[in-house]
Each structure stands twice: as structure tokens, then as C-alpha cells.
Structure 1
Amino acid sequence: MNREIHSAFLKEMGVTEWALRDAPAFTESTQVALVEGPSVSTSDSPQPNITGTWWFFGSKPQAEAEALLLNIVRVLGLDTSAWAWKLPTELVSSKDLPQEGVPIVAIAFGESATKKLSGERDSLNELRQTVLEMVGEGVQEIPLIATFDLQELIARPQTKALFWQDLLLAKSVLQNS
């Protein structure tokens, strides 16, 4: 992916790039991404071609929310076989699972999707940054990460930095599966 496109995707997520002053020339891999508030190095950020399957759950994204979702997928470096969008009301069965040995992580966009998929009753703020587990027949031991609804990310850009942390957690879960 060329640098301009990569930068545009990061900007859409509220992440800007910068390089250290008075430092030798850095390659693209040594740049640091800065999110309003805490800084996040690219070694902590989701890298392209993450091996595994990503399930995204929430209300069907439309217009700007759909564009944001597609940008998230591009930043994660996922091809069409590595991710799927599902409604929280869709029953997930064992036939939906990827082939044996392929790790999977589920991300619930919004409080209602999180509660439906996890069976938890706490608020989204209490459930974020915790590895939950999907409930239901055939989905035992599928890690679930709670995050903000896509519309909220658009309406409140300051939540994009927190969303980025949720993606980092999901990436970590996937890599350790």
C-alpha cells in the first residue's frame, strides 16, 4: 500500500503521523503514529496481512459509516476472505467458523451489539478494553472485543483514539490465539 493511501486511512481514523526532529532519516516502518493523547508506535499498531479471521458485528453501516468500516478493513490489511460483517441478531454456527487452526476475533460495534453477543449487562465503557467471550451454540471461546458504534466514531471523533486501542487489543488477541 503506498504511503499516501496509508496516511489517508490513518487520518480517517484520527491518527496522524510524525517523525522525530534531529533524528536520522527514518524509514516508513520506524515512523510513529500519534493519537490525540497517548502516543502509539507503529510496532503497536495493527499491521497489514494479519493472519486470522475478523468478525465485525453491529447495525448495518451506511454512507459515512460504511466508508469508515472499509477504511478500517484497509488499514488492517484484510482481504475479503479475512473478515465478515454480521448483524448481532444473526445466529453464528459451527459452519460459519473458519477452517481448523485459523484464529478468530469478533468486534462488537456499540453497546447493544456487545450485550447481545456477550450476554453482559454492564455499560460499553465498562466492557471496553476487556476480552469478552461470545455466547451461543457453536461459538464458545471466540474472543469478543467491545467498541464504539461506527456512527458514534463519526459523530464524536475524539472516540477514534479509544477505538484504536480496541483494535490493538483485538490484534493482540488474534496474534496470541
Structure 2
Amino acid sequence: MTPTRDMMPAELAALLHFYAEAGVDWLVEDEAVDRVAEFAEQRARGPRASAAASPASQAAPAQAAPEGRARPTAERPAPRPAAVVPAPAIPDEHAVTEARFAAESARSLAELRTALEAFGGCNLKTSARSTIFANGDPASGIMVIGPMPSGDDDREGAAFFGRAGLLLDRMLAAIGLSRDGVMITTVMPWRPPGDRSPSQPEAAICRPFIERQIELAEPKTVLLLGNFTARFFFGETGTIHALRGQWRDIAGGNHAVPAIATLHPQELLTAPASKALAWQDLLAFKARLEQR
């Protein structure tokens, strides 16, 4: 778990909100209590002191307790309300409209990055360290899109770092490509807390930005990685094993862009036996590139 001293302000705010929602409203006593000294004092008084500490005596008024001891629970004042951190609003239709307007107003990838970094209508942004945007060479005409940033991506500020990123580099190298020679991005620009799957409202708020990235980058072919990504663009609910290996057109602004889906590198790390399926998809992707 990340120590609180290493957390960003937004992460601390989200943590406080989580505790408040869980019902935590009392973190420490009003006054410090030396329990070691208290125990030593009771031992020094002997058995009679233990009898005096019986439940009946503990029910005595608080003013009878020695100074410096914690007051009985019955006499404790009402807990002070914890600092309330406003809950980030879940994206709604109004936020989707704002996202669409911000995305469509951008006339270049640089403008779109600025608009995305300034956008505050998605609750995922409050707990993420980085905003992930497309990196690479737009002139290549090749785009690789993953689902959502991982913890490594969030720390580094770019898509596909860590073990999954290294495997993706090897996958691309196997068909004569490199990370710097393509455009790489993710559907969701912000990492969901705990690496959970994004909700439908969260996906809806981010859709205008990823679709605008595709439109401005103008790729000729797209490689989709993972279950969430394939469902997002194909509009279906099947698993990646049912959706992979098939060329389909996805939205690319004023024209459709051919895309093929395959397994995410992280899935291949978990189930190495599936690498044979991914290799078939990569060969199909390479063949399509050679036809251009």
C-alpha cells in the first residue's frame, strides 16, 4: 500500500472520502493516553485496585477518573464530523456533452492533449496520477490501443510500461514494428482505482476523446488489445476469444478504419498458452500492413 506521505493531494482526498463513506469518523483520542504507565499504575495498586476497576466502578462519573486517563465511553463527547471531501461526480449526459465539445474543438493532437488534461468531468481523474495520451509516430498510419492504464502506466505517464509493456515491445518486434514507429494509447486516459473495469458512464465520458485521437492521428490500421477494448469499439459483449482475429471497421472521424483485436499482453503473461492465438492475429495484422 502506498504510504500517505507519498500520495498526491487528489489521492489523499479520495482516501478520506472512502473512509468517510465507510463510516469512519473517529481516528484518534482527543488526548494522548499512556497505556503503559496506566497498566504499571494498576499493578502497583495491587488486587484492591483491580477490584476497584470492576465494571461497577468503571460506571462512575467521568470526573472521578484520574487526570490524564481516557474518559469512559458513555461520557465521551459526540464525535466531531470528519472533514468532508466532496465526492467526485459520476459522469452523466451533461458531462458527456462537455467531453464531446472539448474533443471536437481540438484541431490537432497537441490541442486534444491539452483539452484532455484540462478536462475535469470524469471522476477517474481524481484518483489517477497521470493522464495517458497517444505517443509515437502519427505518420506511421498504425495505431495500437489498449484498455485502461496500469499502475506502471500511471506512474510513468505513458501507455504500456512494466512487464506487459515489455511483452508488447517483443510482439511488435516480431512483425517488424517498434514502439516508436507506431502510435500507442489507451481507451481510458485515467487508471481506475484498484485496476477495476471502467463503468459504463466512465467509458461514455472518455469515448469522445479516444475517437478524436483516432480521427486526428488518421491511422490506416488499428490493433486493439484486450477484452474491454474489443467490446468498446465493436459494440459487442463477447469475450476476446470470440472477437479476436476478425477485421472490422471502427469509427475514425469521417471515415472507417479497419481494426483487428487480439489478446492483451497481460493476458498472455497470465495464460502463456494463448500466445499462439495472439501470434496468428499479429501475422494477420502484418499481412494487412503489407497490402497497403
SS of equivalent residue, structure 1 residue 142:
strand
More strand by share: 1
Higher relative contact order (CA 8 A, sep 6+): 1
Aligned to 1:69: 168
* 2:173 alignment partner AA: R
TM-score, normalised to structure 2, is 0.38
Aligned to 2:145: 57
**Unaligned 5+ residue runs, structure 1?**
1-51, 99-103
Change (3 A) 1:139 1:119: farther
Query: Residues 28-43 of structure 1: matches in 2 within 5 Å?
Result: none
Query: Residues 7-18 of structure 1: matches in 2 within 5 Å?
Result: none
Q: How far apart are 1:170 and its partner, in Å? A: 0.9
TM-score, normalised to structure 1, is 0.59
Aligned to 1:174: 289
Overall identity of the aligned pairs, in %: 26
* 1:166 alignment partner AA: D
SS of equivalent residue, structure 1 residue 141:
strand
Distance 1:173 1:128 in 2: 15
* 1:148 alignment partner AA: L
Change (3 A) 1:106 1:139: farther
Number of positions where the alignment pairs a residue of Structure 1 with one of Structure 2:
121
RMSD value over aligned CA atoms?
Answer: 2.3
More helix by share: 2
Tell me if 1:111 matches 2:215.
no
Aligned to 1:97: 218
The structure that has the greater radius of gyration is: 2
Aligned to 2:185: 86
Change (3 A) 1:125 1:140: farther
